[in-house]
C-alpha cells in the first residue's frame, strides 16, 4: 500500500528548483553516508547512481510502464511467459467484475508498489479496492524519488492473472541483474507481502554473503530447473541498456516475467559488506562515463 509521504509533497514543491541528478546524488549520500566516486564509478552502487543521474535512454520509459512493457516482452517472443491480462482501465468504475476469475491482481501501471492481491473474489471489499485504486491514479510516482522515467506516465489500472506458488500464495521472485547484456547476479525475494527476506546468488547458483535492504533468507534455495532459460530471457530483454533487472516468478512447470526494473531503488542501493559492493562493480564491467549531461536538459524539456 503506497501513501504519499512528506518527501512526495516536498519533491512536488522543489522539483523545478533542485535538478534531478543532484537530488539523486543527495539521496545516495544520505543513505550510504559516504560521498560517491563517479569519475569513474567503481562500486555497483556508484554505477547505478551514475546511470540514474546521467543516462536517459528512451526505452526506460517503456520499462517503467507496466502496461507498455508487456508489448516489449511480447515482441521479444515471451508472450507465453506473461501473466494473462484481463483488462486495462482509466478508472475504477470502468471495471466489470463479473467475467473476472476468483483470483487476480489489480495494479497501477505507472509506479512501484501499486499492487492489490485478490486471492478470493468472494471476500473482496470493493470499497477498499476503489479507495486504493483512486489513490494510485491520483499520484505521479515520479515525485516519490524523482526517477525521470516515471514522470507523467499515462495512468491506468490493469488486472492480471494471479500466479500461484506451491502453497497457493504468490511465488517467490527471482530477479536477474543484467549489465551490458550479461547477467551477473540473482536475488531471490521470499514472502514479499509478509516477512520479506532476500538471498543473493551468482549465475552459477552459489550463495553470496551479501545483504541489501531486506533481511537475509536463512534457508538455502534449490536452483530453478528453468534458470538457464531465465538467464537467456533476461539477456534478450535487457534491450541493449547498460543495466536492467528482469524479475521472474517461478512455478513448478514454467516461469513468468513480472516486470523489467530500470534501476533498483532509483539508483540508490546500500550493499553490505562494502567489499561486495566493489566486487559487484567489477562484475558489472565498464560503465559508459561519456554520457553527456546535455541529455538531462533535453529529456526534462520533453517531459514538461
Q: Which three cell numbers stand for residue 271?
A: 550493499
Can you give 60-104 as a three-state secondary structure string?
A: HHHHHCCCHHHHHHHHCCCHHHCCCEEEEECCHHHCCCCCCCCCE
pLDDT averaged over 10-residue windows placed end to end, the chain, 304 residues: 69 82 92 92 97 97 98 98 98 98 98 95 98 97 94 98 86 94 94 75 95 74 94 97 97 94 93 95 88 47 42
For the whole model, what pTM was predicted?
A: 0.91
- Quick one: fold of 6-286+299-303? D-amino Acid Aminotransferase; Chain A, domain 1 (3.30.470)
pLDDT at 51: 97
**Domain positions in the chain:** 6-286+299-303
Please state, in angstroms and rounded to a whole number, the distance separating the CA atoms of residues 220 and 239: 32
Angle at 267 between CA 235 and CA 283, to 5 degrees: 45
Please state, in angstroms and rounded to a whole number, the distance separating the CA atoms of residues 289 and 49: 12
Q: Which three cell numbers stand for residue 100?
A: 473476472
Buried b (16+ CB within 10 A) or exposed e, 106-116: bbbbbbbebbb
DSSP 123: G
Amino acid at each position: 500500500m503506497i501513501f504519499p509521504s512528506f518527501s512526495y509533497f516536498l519533491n512536488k514543491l522543489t522539483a523545478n528548483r533542485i535538478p534531478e541528478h543532484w537530488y539523486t546524488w543527495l539521496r545516495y549520500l544520505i543513505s550510504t553516508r559516504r560521498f560517491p566516486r563517479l569519475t569513474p564509478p567503481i562500486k555497483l552502487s556508484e554505477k547505478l547512481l551514475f546511470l540514474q543521474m546521467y543516462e536517459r535512454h528512451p526505452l526506460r520509459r517503456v520499462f517503467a510502464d507496466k502496461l507498455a512493457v508487456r508489448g516489449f516482452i511480447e515482441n521479444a517472443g515471451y508472450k507465453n511467459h506473461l501473466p494473462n491480462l484481463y483488462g486495462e482501465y482509466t478508472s475504477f468504475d470502468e471495471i466489470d467484475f463479473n467475467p473476472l476469475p476468483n483470483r487476480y491482481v489489480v495494479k497501477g501501471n505507472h509506479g512501484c508498489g501499486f499492487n492489490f492481491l485478490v486471492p478470493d473474489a468472494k471476500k473482496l471489499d470493493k470499497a477498499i479496492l476503489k479507495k486504493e485504486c483512486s489513490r494510485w491514479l491520483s499520484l505521479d510516482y515520479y515525485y516519490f524519488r524523482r526517477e525521470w522515467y516515471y514522470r507523467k506516465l499515462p495512468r491506468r489500472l490493469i488486472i492480471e492473472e494471479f500466479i500461484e506458488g506451491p502453497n497457493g500464495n504468490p511465488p517467490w521472485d527471482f530477479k536477474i541483474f543484467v549489465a551490458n547484456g550479461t547477467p551477473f547476479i540473482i536475488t531471490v525475494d521470499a514472502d514479499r507481502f509478509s516477512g520479506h527476506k532476500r538471498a543473493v546468488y551468482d549465475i552459477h547458483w552459489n550463495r553470496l554473503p551479501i545483504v541489501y535492504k531486506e533481511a537475509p533468507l536463512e534457508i538455502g534455495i534449490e536452483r530453478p530447473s528453468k534458470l538457464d532459460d531465465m538467464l537467456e530471457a533476461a539477456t534478450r530483454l535487457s534491450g541493449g541498456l547498460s543495466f536492467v533487472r528482469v524479475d521472474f516468478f517461478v512455478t513448478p512447470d514454467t516461469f513468468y516475467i513480472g516486470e523489467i526494473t530500470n534501476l533498483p531503488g532509483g539508483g540508490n542501493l546500500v550493499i553490505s559488506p562494502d567489499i561486495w559492493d566493489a566486487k559487484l562493480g567489477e562484475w558489472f564491467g565498464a560503465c559508459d562515463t561519456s554520457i553527456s549531461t546535455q541529455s538531462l536538459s533535453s529529456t526534462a524539456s520533453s517531459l514538461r
